[in-house]
Amino acid sequence: MADKNTKETMKLLVDLVSIPSPSGNTNEVISYVEKYLAELKVETKRNRKGGLIATIEGQDSSQHRMLTAHVDTLGAMVKEIKSNGRLKIDLIGGFKYNSIEGEYCQIETSSGKKITGTILMHQTSVHVYKDAGKAERNQENMEIRLDEKVHNAEDIRALGIEVGDFVSFDPRVEVTPSGFIKSRHLDDKASVAILLQLIKQIKNENIQLPYTTHFLISNNEEIGYGGNSNITPETVEYLAVDMGAIGDGQTTDEYTVSICVKDASGPYHYGLRKNLVRLAEENNIEYKLDIYPFYGSDASAAIRSGHDIVHGLIGPGIDSSHAFERTHESSIVNTAKLLFHYVQSNLVL
Ligand SMILES: [Zn+2]
């Protein structure tokens, strides 16, 4: 059975995935995190990009450590108001149209009004369209059917919908009795929930951290530049906590913590990786070393933007990423344990 920390993390995760937060429209979820941390009396500040930084003073304030996880998710934007009373969309983040076919969604107008709909192929009805199964799933063929009586573009505009309105996808979150959690957006809200629970544990148990530690809840990772700023000059180590990628040839699974050794950006810092492995072994944490072929993280974005830091990447294994995601609570437990020991460990340099 899951321990108290894991239960709280799972609950937090359900709350987080239920708040719409496509990259570019993350204010509501950041406010949720801000409130959570304020209740724990943790000092936070927002950066101009809209991310949130929480800082906990350590014994040594001359050298810092930074951890990050991102709250932004995949989503879409209204691209065109069509004359047939449907909406054409433009995708936010890297994913395929087939992974959102049939998905319930919500459009947020600029005045804050929420209107629901369903993402469908134009040629969905098999009683009408011969090529319903074969037609390409792409921007041209897919559209939003609004749950409103609309017949043309004027009807849609009368609802207040305009080009540029954000579209978020139904999270469809479910925790099963067997310990799985299914939802869109486990990437990377699973890691955000783990970090928030870790901060809570540090505060509640009065844990003295060896170094001043920053927790950056970034809000632009899916579009490439979430965590590449607000890194203090004292920061030595920068650890991104983000999903582990599962698939053919991958070692990552839904039960362990994945330690990334290399992704599309190149190898992560060798010394930090070895430290993470040592911490896992010393504390009986189940882990996998892995390479993610089509992947970049906030840590690699930070390196690319010119920061002289030691960078690493770990996270829970997420199946069917950027689509119908799932992980198991054991992956959450192993990731949380590794982070708990990591924040109390010595720096690599
Ligand atoms: Zn991610």
Compute, in angstroms, the gap from residue 228 CA to the centroid of ligand 1: 14
Q: Cβ distance 188 to 34 under 8 Å?
A: no
Average pLDDT of span 315-322: 98
Q: Cβ distance 251 to 296 under 8 Å?
A: no
Of the pLDDT bands very low, low, confident and very high (cuts 50, 70, 90), residue 249 is very high
Catalytic residue among 143, 221, 222, 325: 221
At residue 300, does pLDDT exceed 60? yes
**Residues above pLDDT 90, as percent of the chain:** 98
Compute, in angstroms, the gap from residue 126 CA to the centroid of ligand 1: 36
Any residues with CB less than 8 A from the CB of 218 and at least 6 apart, and which?
Answer: 51, 68, 69, 70, 71, 72, 226, 227, 298
Average pLDDT of span 268-275: 98
Q: Which of residues 84 and 131 earns the better pLDDT score?
A: 84
Of the pLDDT bands very low, low, confident and very high (cuts 50, 70, 90), residue 167 is very high
At residue 52, does pLDDT exceed 60? yes
Average pLDDT of span 228-257: 97
Average pLDDT of span 220-226: 92
Q: How many of the other CB atoms lie within 10 Å of CB of 323? A: 13
The reply to whether 221 belongs to the active site is yes
Tokens in use for 127?
A: 């009683």
Compute, in angstroms, the gap from residue 95 CA to the centroid of ligand 1: 12
Of the pLDDT bands very low, low, confident and very high (cuts 50, 70, 90), residue 1 is low
- Cα dihedral across residues 231, 233, 234, 235: positive or negative: positive
Compute, in angstroms, the gap from residue 68 CA to the centroid of ligand 1: 11
